Chains A and B, each alone.
Chain A
Amino acid sequence: MEPSRQTMLVSRSMEGDPEAFGELVTALTPGLRQYCKTFFSSWHDAEDAAQDAWIRAWQSMGSLRERAAFKTWLYRMARNICLDRIRQRANGQQTVDDEVLERTPVPEHELPENLAVQRGEIADAWQIINRLPSALRQAFVLVALQGMSYKEAALVTNVSESTVRGRLARARNAISEAVS
């Protein structure tokens, strides 16, 4: 979607126009869903979180200050929802630290046996991504898959641009080793 079209739809959504909001949902959900998948092993959970993010976005449109920054605002909201859900699942403990969560790959039992795979054997590339710690997965999906700038990815993940750069390099290295 053209950035100017997106900004126009955001403006109309802020004015309370559900049709414009629906168009935003249609255009941005595929990417948002992929981003949410970096937190969960199942696509169902990712879609569920994306849905909640949109509902929260609708309810909070009045608080959006920078219309051009809608996408990072939405993704940050989705990130918080995903982290909250992971926390809730961690035996209801409220003390799980964001950093601990971000170092965590998806549960071991859901992963394939071997890290190294041949190109021809890859049935689902998400299995490779799932092996990375969450922070690296997020950096890879936001920048390499969705084309966000380092600055935007930094805003979404609440870290510095240089941290995003480092995480992305580590993610790419791990992926490269997995497929070679």
Chain B
Amino acid sequence: MKNLPCGRTTEDVLLNLDEPADLHELQCRWCHAERQRLKDQNGFITQLLESSTPEHQPEAFSQRILAKIADRSPFQRMWDVQEAGTGLAKRLSSLDLIKAIRAVFSESTTPQLNYAEIKATDTGIPHLNWSVQCHVSMAGNSSVQIIEQQTLDYVRRAMSSLISWKELVVNLVIEDLHGEAIDSITLRGEN
């Protein structure tokens, strides 16, 4: 590491290269020049690294990955259910049910569904009792009471469009913009 005439070293400048210059650096022409030199050289290498990275075909790579994961343990559970309307026995995955819930939520502008989990809570076939976890974030002009009501209503609608059910427990988690939970409540519905 080089010693600068002002008493600082290249290392001092390097350690804070990603931070704004401190008062000394702002006033010191040696530090200022050193910072510029280091930024210039490192920027040059960064650009070179980007340009000398061999070409990659992300779409083809993704297709390969998707082909590989297709037959690997999906963390999906399959459920024996009774189809709404026809009453026929059917098997649906958690994802099938969650997609139906997402479709209903997508029509709404107030609660936004961030994440959902679903599982049957009875041991019977077909399953009639369900627990759904919904992580939602809400628009600024909405209230928790409205979100609770809407979430329960949306889940009920989604479930009813696909399957026959008796009891529904919705664990609602309200999240902030960063996905941090700010409130949670358990809602119940019966059919």
Contact = CB atoms under 8 A, between A and B. Distances in A.
A7 B179 contact: yes
Interface in A93-146: 119, 122-126, 128-129, 141, 143-145
B155 interface: no
A22 B179 contact: no
Interface in B47-82: 48-54, 56, 58-59, 61-66, 68-70, 72-76
Given A169-B17, A172-B42, A179-B45, A58 B54 contact: no
Name, among B49, B51, B52, B66, the residue most crowded by chain A CB atoms within 10 Å (CB to CB). Answer: B49
Contact of A15 (B38, B56, B116): B116
A126 B52 contact: yes
A14 interface: yes
B23 interface: no
B31 to A, nearest CB: 15
A86 interface: no
B166 interface: no
B117 A15 contact: yes
Interface residues of B, number: 51
Nearest to A124: B52
A129 B49 contact: yes
Contact of B69 (A55, A68, A119, A165): A55
A90 interface: no
A61 B178 CA distance: 19
A141 B50 CA distance: 11
B41 interface: yes
B61 A68 contact: no
A25 B178 CA distance: 22
A91 interface: no
B61 A25 contact: yes
Contacts of B38: 172, 176
B48 A175 contact: no
A59 interface: yes
A94 to B, nearest CB: 26
Contacts of A157: none
Contacts of B61: 25-26, 29, 47, 51
Contact of B58 (A16, A29, A62, A175): A29
Given A165-B15, A166-B15, A179-B41, A62 B65 contact: no
Interface in A137-180: 141, 143-145, 150, 165-166, 168-169, 172-173, 175-176, 179-180
B64 A51 contact: yes
B121 interface: no
Contacts of B179: 7, 66-68
B184 interface: no
A173 B10 contact: yes
B44 A22 contact: no
B160 interface: no
Interface of B: 1, 10-11, 14-15, 17-18, 37-38, 41-42, 44-46, 48-54, 56, 58-59, 61-66, 68-70, 72-76, 93-95, 98-99, 114-117, 135, 177-179
